[in-house]
Amino acid sequence: MATHQIELSDPKKAVPILSEFLSDILAEEQVPFEIENAMQLCAEEAVVNIFKHGYKGAEGPVRVRFTLDDNRVILEIEDEAPFFNPLTLPSPDVDAELDERKIGGLGVYLIRSLMDDVRYQETPKGNCLVMEKSFSG
């Protein structure tokens, strides 16, 4: 089992730093491209939501832990923002016509759609979102 961890704090630099961190690990571990794409996307969506909504655009600690266990990748994202379970957000209407279509609100929906399992838990300091996806070796 391989585990890698990174701590982010600057909302302006978080996404590129996270993207490079995951690219390096996923290449090193030879994870298939479609899994890399899904992990990158879900990590970006979760971290952007934390800085945007949890920390209201300000700096704050976000710890990202990546674990590869056989043919399963696990991404745990912890913050110290006020308690909020993003999985309680309603799903957007992806069948709506263009005029009725809302401009945002797709991030959590994409995480739920792309991952095999997504769990939320409160921690003593804030929130933790755990995302898992399996792939065939």
Least distance CB 52 / another protein (angstroms): 9
Burial label, 122 (beta-carbon count in 10 A; 0-12, 13-18, 19+) = exposed
**Does 6 sit near another protein (CB under 8 A)?**
no
| CB 104, min distance to another protein, A | 5
How many angstroms separate the CA atoms of 119 and 132, rounded? 9
Q: Tell me which residues in 105-124 interact with another protein (CB under 8 A).
A: 106-107, 109-110, 113-114
Q: If binding is defined by CB under 8 A, does position 40 make contact with another protein?
A: yes
The two tokens of residue 103 are 């401009």
Which of these ranges, 62-70, 74-82, 99-107, 118-126, lies near another protein under the rule CB under 8 A? 99-107
State the residues that interact with another protein by CB under 8 A.
15-16, 19, 33-34, 37, 40-41, 44-45, 48, 93-99, 101, 103-104, 106-107, 109-110, 113-114
